Amino acid sequence: MESTKKVRGMQDILPDAHLYHTFLKKVFRHELRKNGFKRITTPVLEHKELFTGALWMGTDIIDKEMYNLVDRKGRELVLKPESTAPIMRAYIENDMQSDPQPVFLYYVEPHFRYDRPQKWRFRQFFQIGAEIIGESDPILDAQLIYIGYKILNKIGLEGEFKVKINSIGTAKDRQKYLEELTSFYENKKHLLSPEALSKLESNPLRLLDTKIEDEIILANEAPKITKFLKKESKEHYTKVKEYLDILWVPYEEDHKLVRGLDYYTHTVWEFVDNSGRSQDAFWGWGRYDMLSKKIGHSDEIPAVWFAMWMERLADALLDRGIKIKNKDRIDLYFIQLWDEAKKIVLPLTLEAREAGINTLASLGTPSLKAQMKKANRLSARYVVMVGVMEATSGIYQVRDMIAGTQEEVKKEHLIEYVRSKVGQNGLDFYCPAKDFLLKDE
């Protein structure tokens, strides 16, 4: 029988890849916490109607990509395809409007879409996102763009990306624009793909987001939405650009940058790499003041957000040869050459860890050759062999696996010897219990 394989479109994130995921989570979390964001987690399962109805009808997410299921009581549920709608639901349902406004929230979450698997597109994917809910001030749009710009520079991608921005105004602004846009494409239908023709009927704005070369040329010639902005929208967009200039964030205005969902308003943006590929965005998105009403709330609640794809950024770092420190490295590895050696090694491993040395002991009783091979594969820095002679004499052989040298060290001096070799900066004393637990004064 063929061995069981993972579900198509899903991914196993192995330890080497997790080095990059953990790095990205820590960098984002630190930067967001400094800016007042607090973490939120919403359920993996949500009611289907949170995403359907007037919200996303006519989009690929609703039509093709939702993971649907029915529970034992006949309720239609979905694996959440994104987190913005669930977070707005949580904000309303948990009466977060009574908190000081705006509310700053961030998340690190898996999402699920039945998308066609390809580079940077998985059916389970991870996002780090940030949402600011309860305030319409354009300075918040600029603040989110600045945070993203700062993070990308910090992680080693300085000069490797562009910031693209646009304004799509309000729903009223877009009414006249959509008429002009539809008129522009009417006599060019023969140049459009079947998918584009469908968009022309259902959501003309999405024609600007095409990845087909001939349609990109048309999109470049299409009317610009910024020419249709009314006074309020123009002022909002102007202020966002003024704030970005103050923050020294370089940006390009791109009139093709839009959002196909009609709850978006005003500023939209993306961070794109310089590859020229059709899938070139690290992350975006923009302001969504109309989402609350789309999911059934009585009032509009101003909000703005961004989200980045973990897999895309991790690949970008790997592609550019950016290496991450491995805190899981093994500095001291014990080889045990007989059963009784375990009784000697066990307290030594505990003492070494208390001394800040990342330590591991070989288990089982294979040959010396097999254990040395294992130590090599684990990239252990120092190897200590404990056999009958060492147990009797109290003198251990310590091998430096990088230098290829070996020294004799007395048992009572072993831990301090390895500590001196590893160096103070290489020792690990991190203890979250000590860092986070509050104690009475």
Count of CB atoms situated within 10 Å of the CB of 104: 20
Q: What pLDDT score does 247 carry? A: 96
For residue 85, give every residue at least 6 positions away whose Cβ sits within 8 Å of its Cβ, in sequence order, or none.
46, 50, 51, 55, 291, 295
**Tokens (6 digits) for 171:** 């729903």
Q: What pLDDT score does 57 carry? A: 56
The predicted model gives 175-187 an average pLDDT of 87
Q: What pLDDT score does 21 carry? A: 93
pTM for the whole structure: 0.87
Task: Assess whether pLDDT exceeds 70 at residue 104.
Answer: yes
Per-residue DSSP letter, 281: E
CB of 75 closer than 8 Å to CB of 84: no
Which among 421, 406, 407, 405 has a CA at the least distance from the CA of 355?
421
CB of 325 closer than 8 Å to CB of 426: no
Domain ranges of the chain: 15-170+230-319, 332-426
Residue 161, H or E segment: strand 161-167
CA dist., res. 441 & res. 68, Å (int):
52
CB of 411 closer than 8 Å to CB of 394: yes
Task: Assess whether pLDDT exceeds 60 at residue 2.
Answer: no
Residue 433: burial class (beta carbons within 10 Å; 0-12, 13-18, 19+): exposed
198: confidence class by pLDDT, cuts 50, 70, 90: confident
432: confidence class by pLDDT, cuts 50, 70, 90: confident
**Can you tell me whether residue 267 is helix, strand or coil?**
strand
Q: What pLDDT score does 58 carry? A: 55
Lowest-confidence segment of 132-136, 196-200, 275-279, 411-415 by average pLDDT: 275-279
Q: What pLDDT score does 277 carry? A: 60
Each residue's pLDDT tens digit, 239-249: 999 999 999 99
Hey, which CATH number is domain 332-426, 3.40.50.800, 1.10.10.60, 3.30.70.100, 3.40.980.20? 3.40.50.800
Say if residue 102 is preceded by a cis peptide, omega within 30 of 0.
yes
The predicted model gives 210-232 an average pLDDT of 86
Task: Assess whether pLDDT exceeds 60 at residue 390.
Answer: yes
CB of 42 closer than 8 Å to CB of 90: yes
Task: Assess whether pLDDT exceeds 50 at residue 416.
Answer: yes
Task: Assess whether pLDDT exceeds 60 at residue 403.
Answer: yes
CB of 410 closer than 8 Å to CB of 431: no
Instruction: Supply φ then ψ for residue 351, to 5 degrees.
Output: -65, -40
Task: Assess whether pLDDT exceeds 80 at residue 435.
Answer: no
Q: What pLDDT score does 1 carry? A: 46
For residue 192, give every residue at least 6 positions away whose Cβ sits within 8 Å of its Cβ, in sequence order, or none.
185, 200, 207, 215, 218
Task: Assess whether pLDDT exceeds 80 at residue 414.
Answer: yes
Query: 332 or 327, which is more confident?
Result: 332
In one-letter notation, the amino acid at residue 103 is V
Give the DSSP per-residue string, 234-254.
HHHHHHHHHHHHHTT---EE-
Q: What pLDDT score does 425 carry? A: 87
**Can you tell me whether residue 46 is helix, strand or coil?**
strand
Q: What pLDDT score does 215 carry? A: 81
357: confidence class by pLDDT, cuts 50, 70, 90: very high
Which among 268, 253, 238 has a CA at the least distance from the CA of 174?
268
What's domain 15-170+230-319's architecture?
A: 2-Layer Sandwich (3.30)
Each residue's pLDDT tens digit, 36-92: 999 999 999 999 999 886 455 556 666 668 889 999 999 999 999 999 999 999 999
Q: What pLDDT score does 59 carry? A: 61
251: confidence class by pLDDT, cuts 50, 70, 90: very high
Lowest-confidence segment of 54-63, 97-106, 297-306, 430-439 by average pLDDT: 54-63
| Percentage, residues of the chain above pLDDT 70 | 94
428: confidence class by pLDDT, cuts 50, 70, 90: confident
Partnered with residue 406 across adjacent β-strands are 399
Report how far apart, in Å, the C-alpha atoms of 133 and of each of 84, 85, 189, 292, 345 are: 11, 12, 40, 10, 55
Q: How far apart are the first and last CA of the chain?
A: 63
Average pLDDT taken over every residue of the chain: 88
**Can you tell me whether residue 15 is helix, strand or coil?**
helix
Residue 47: burial class (beta carbons within 10 Å; 0-12, 13-18, 19+): middle
Q: What pLDDT score does 5 carry? A: 87
The predicted model gives 193-218 an average pLDDT of 81
The predicted model gives 396-406 an average pLDDT of 92
